[in-house]
Structure 1
Amino acid sequence: MTLHTIDTGLFKLDGGAMFGVVPKALWQKLNPADQNNMCTWAMRCLLIEDGNRLILIDTGIGDKQDEKFVSHFYLHGDDSLEKSLKSKGFSTSDITDVFLTHLHFDHCGGAIKRQKDKLVPVFENATYWSNTDHWNWAVNPNPREKASFLKENILPIKESGQLKLISPNQKSDSLPFELRFLDGHTEKQMLPQFKYKGRTIVFCADLIPSVHHVRLPYIMAYDMRPLKTLSEKEVLLNEAVENDYILFFEHDPVNQCCTLHRTERGIMPKEIGSLNDFL
């Protein structure tokens, strides 16, 4: 197995939304906001090269949205999904599996592209993975979360015939990692957890979007069930400390990973760096 970090670009989100109840006086020191209270965030994916399979975890926001949509999120940076794949020696046609932690637009938007007047999969040879509970949640969204589930990102996956749904009650033997099913951020978000070079790596998705969200109260206002997120984080953090896990961050604009340790202030980041720094 070989891991490749895939950078798909940067975008901006409201700092208050990203840090929830934490006062701006505190989070401003961690990720400074611009004049519109917007902070920069990454859309960092992970590519797993495992034998004859290339498994991409999440896809970023993509490039098919209109100018009005893009203006809300200030997409910027030199990276893109295809450019990052090419830098690792791969193309979209090489990808065999696309694993979607959940179906919010900044995690699955890059899975679908516009081709003339049609919406088609970017990865024409891949199986797309979601789970039954989250899929049903996304295609019948509640009013609060509806703006994050865009039909143009989701429905074409099923229409292509490339969608495969996992049952949250069953272990999938078709993927080379374990799954943590979580309900705080959204219904049945999936976090891949796997062994690599003797270490356990957890792809944190939106449970812990950045190293600055390790501390328990730092929970996004986007979360549907923040108290559930709190308990889910606590379980993972304690497990990670005891077993020296590496946490991989999807949205941290600077830091890819960290390990953890116990301090007088609770569980905190220990070592922070790129994935290669730990392996």
Structure 2
Amino acid sequence: MTPSKFDVEKTDLTVGPYRVCPVPTGIFGLDGGAMFGTVPKVLWEKTNPPDEKNRIEMEARGLLLKSEGMNILIDTGNGKDFVAKYGEKLGNKFAEMYNIEDSGPSLLKSLAAHGLKPEDIHHVILTHLHFDHAGGATTEKNGKLVPTFPNAQYWIQKGNLETASHPNLRERASYYPANFQPLLDAGVLNVIEGEKEILPGISVLISNGHTQAQQMVKITDGKTTVLYCGDVVPTSTHVKIPWLMGYDLHPLTLMEEKQKFLSQAADQKWYLFFEHDPYCDAAVIEKSGHDFAVQKRFWL
């Protein structure tokens, strides 16, 4: 991993009954230009240096909420069984294109570090069904794709499931039935609609800028709040309103959403948890003129 150019503080974080635990699932690479859209390379390469193929390092980081008798996982990363899921040709191309590391952290290794097996997860909240968020939701067992977490209930927004089931040409390469059809077949996918509390102290907020009906996850006890940002704010360098990804379907909508959510986060000192930042887990932000800036970064 490239050494961080940021000062990052180590801290432990608990929200109500939940211990907040990052779950690294693996480093991969995406084109830096795609990750920063219209932002000039001379700006983004200062904080996210690219390799010889212009790919920047990305983490696929889930979040474990661990409490007495309850283990909740938010997003599942890429998943490692590409050939089993997508076929040999596509699976190998998939891993090569996105520079996915075979070694290093994985979803199950990271959970094991917390003393957990797949059977110990009770709920899995999926922000959306793009492969780098839902790839670990299913796995191959005895020649069949099944839910990775056999005792868990999964949660997704209705609008995102509909989009994943009938993807547009732009997103066809990001949505794969292998990542969600086994959940439907097993009857474990809870399809919800709109912003609501789905578990005690855990609610979802809706964004339609990156893709249709992505749900960010808000964890709060009234004093401390963590917002799992998903692809609304994928890394700490994306807290600036105009710093968007080329992958975002509706940039102007996303900018309006960022203005709304980040204003609340800055005013109320929420912890923003970043799914794709290889240099920190979370940050607290502040207003900076008409925009936002990172006040402090954290490893949790």
> Normalising TM by the smaller chain, what interval?
over 0.9
Match of 1:51 among 36, 61, 68: 68
Displacement of 1:266: 2.9
3-state secondary structure, aligned to 2:244: coil
Q: After TM superposition, list the pairs within 5 Å mapping 1:71-82 onto structure 2.
A: 71-76=96-101, 77-82=103-108
Give the 5 Å matches for 1:60-75: 60-65=77-82, 66-75=91-100
CA distance in 1, matches of 2:286, 2:126: 29
Aligned to 1:137: 163
Structure 1, 110-119 or 140-149: larger mean CA deviation: 110-119
Does the CA-based 8 Å contact 1:98-1:127 persist in structure 2? yes
Structure 1 residues 185, 80: CA separation in 2 closer, same or farther (over 3 Å shift)?
Answer: same
Matched, 1:160 2:186: yes
Please state how far the C-alpha of 1:175 moved relative to its aligned partner: 5.2
Taking the aligned partners of 1:116 and 1:69, their CA distance within structure 2 comes to 23
Paired position in structure 1 for 2:134: 108
1:237 aligns with 2:262: yes
Identical counterparts, % of pairs? 38
Tell me what 1:117 maps to. Answer: 143
**Uncovered stretches (5+) of structure 2, i.e. residues with no partner:** 1-17, 83-90
Matched, 1:225 2:242: no
Higher normalized contact order (CA 8 Å, seq sep 6+, divided by chain length): 2
**2:65 is aligned with what amino acid?**
I
Structure 1: unaligned runs, 5 residues or longer: none
Whether 1:96 aligns to 2:122 is: yes
TM-score (norm 1): 0.94
Which residue identity does 2:23 align to in structure 1?
A: I
Equivalent residue for 1:207? 232
**Structure 1 pair 196/274, CA: closer, same or farther in 2 (3 Å)?**
farther
Q: Which secondary structure state, in structure 1, belongs to the residue aligned with residue 173 of structure 2?
A: helix
- Is the Cα contact below 8 Å between 1:133 and 1:168 reproduced in 2? no
Give the residue type in structure 2 aligned to 1:150.
Y
Deviation per residue, 1:163-208 (Å, 9 max, x gap): 1111216x34445312111100011100111225931110011000
Other structure's SS at 1:54 match: strand
In the TM superposition, residue 259 of structure 1 has moved relative to its aligned partner by 0.8
The CA RMSD over aligned residues, in Å, is: 1.5
